[in-house]
A and B are shown apart, each in its own frame.
Chain A
Amino acid sequence: MSDLANTPVAALLELAASQLEVAAHSTNSQMETLASSIGALVMLGAELQAAQGAGAAPDALARKIVERAQTAVVAMQFHDQLVQRVAHVRDVLTELNEALQGMPAGEVEWATVLARIRFRYSMEDERRLFDRIIGAAACPDVNCHDSTHDSLRGGVEIF
């Protein structure tokens, strides 16, 4: 393991572990929102049936149902994000494996490897995690860009 001293291997493994932790946390949070929305929709459906039976105008209930359904639609997108987050962990491990194939760790061009890994990240929080653990200075390649102008989740831009 002394061969790995002064290389970013340990930091990359920490990055992969942290990415999985973020993926699990994010998925749990969105699943809770989804479960809560579905529970509320069931309750609202029962209220709607009761209101219709009593001949009451259900406008407010209908609005609540639409709001809860929209919240569920946002939360339901957890799957797409989870798949991408896990794919990016796989990418880190694959890049690491390929870099170390047949070459002592001390001879690997780590700046290039790190740039390739960071370039694959599609989510703003993934790049922030990379910069926090690996350090932006460790990745001077042009692909390791300033992310201050990147879009946030749910952002819309019309060109």
Chain B
Amino acid sequence: MQRTIMTVDDSTSMRQMVKATLISAGYGVVEAADGQEALDYARENPVDLVIADVNMPRMDGITLVSELRLLPAYRLIPLLLLTTESSMEKKMEGKKAGATGWLVKPFHPAQLLATLARVL
């Protein structure tokens, strides 16, 4: 059965790069342009994994992770943050919010797919 991954980023080009990488590996992909849009989608639809940027308008990625962890369907789902943020403080904020992992942009497709294989 095909697994569905939600990519959340306010940059269209980033979403396209993530989407192309995921589709090439056989995953289904849904997109959201910010944390609020992702949360609205997640409340109605289950996905198997979420890859979210940190700095986004309306709702940032760390808040999104916190909110998703409050939803029963997302309590155990892997939530990855993919961001240019590389500071230890931000990373610890993400971990405390309930993120499964932290990836620093730019991502390499093979590395992203290997990470997904580890956490799914």
- What is A's interface to B at a CB cutoff of 8 Å? 69-70, 73-81, 83-84, 122-124, 127, 145, 147, 149-159
Number of B residues near A (Cβ < 8 Å) is: 35
Q: CB distance A70 to B115 under 8 Å?
A: no
Interchain Cβ contacts under 8 Å between A and B, 24 examples? A70-B108, A74-B106, A74-B109, A76-B17, A77-B17, A77-B107, A78-B106, A79-B13, A80-B84, A81-B84, A81-B106, A83-B11, A122-B87, A127-B87, A153-B86, A153-B106, A154-B106, A154-B108, A155-B102, A155-B103, A156-B103, A157-B91, A157-B101, A159-B102
Q: Is the interface of B mostly helix, strand, loop or mixed?
A: mixed
User: By the criterion CB–CB under 8 Å, are A151 and B86 in contact?
Assistant: yes
The CA-CA distance from A64 to B99 in the complex, in Å, is: 35
Across the interface, do A73 and B87 meet the contact criterion of CB distance under 8 Å?
no
Query: CA of A156 to CA of B104 in the docked complex: distance in angstroms?
Result: 7
Which residue in chain A gives the minimum CB-CB distance to B78?
A158
The answer for the CA separation of A2 and B102 in the assembled complex, in Å, is 47
Is there contact, CB below 8 Å, between A158 and B100?
Answer: yes
Contact B13 A70 (CB under 8 A): no
- Interface centre among B55, B106, B118, by most A CB within 10 Å? B106
With A and B bound together, what is the CA distance between A158 and B100 in angstroms?
6
Question: Is there an interface contact between B102 and A154, defined as CB atoms closer than 8 Å?
Answer: no
Give Cα A159–Cα B84 distance, bound, in whole angstroms: 18
Known: A124-B86, A156-B102. 13 other contacts (CB 8 A): A73-B20, A73-B21, A73-B108, A74-B106, A74-B107, A75-B106, A77-B13, A81-B105, A122-B86, A145-B87, A149-B88, A151-B102, A151-B104
Please name all residues of chain A whose beta carbon is closer than 8 Å to the beta carbon of B115 when the two chains form the complex.
156, 158
Q: How far is the CB of A14 from chain B (nearest CB, A)?
A: 23
Task: Give the residue among A76, A84, A157 with the most B Cβ atoms within 10 A.
Answer: A157
B89, CB-defined interface residue at 8 Å: yes
Q: Is the CB of A70 within 8 A of B100?
A: no
Give complex CA distance A76, B88 in Å.
26
Q: How far is the CA of A127 from the CA of B55 in the complex (A)?
A: 17
- The verdict on B83 contacting chain A, using a C-beta distance below 8 Å, is yes
Complex: A78 Cα to B20 Cα, angstroms: 16
Query: At the interface, yes or no: B2 with Cβ under 8 Å from chain A?
Result: no
CB distance from A149 to the nearest CB of B (A): 5
By the criterion CB–CB under 8 Å, are B108 and A74 in contact?
Answer: yes
B85 within 8 A of A: yes
Closest to A79 in B: B13
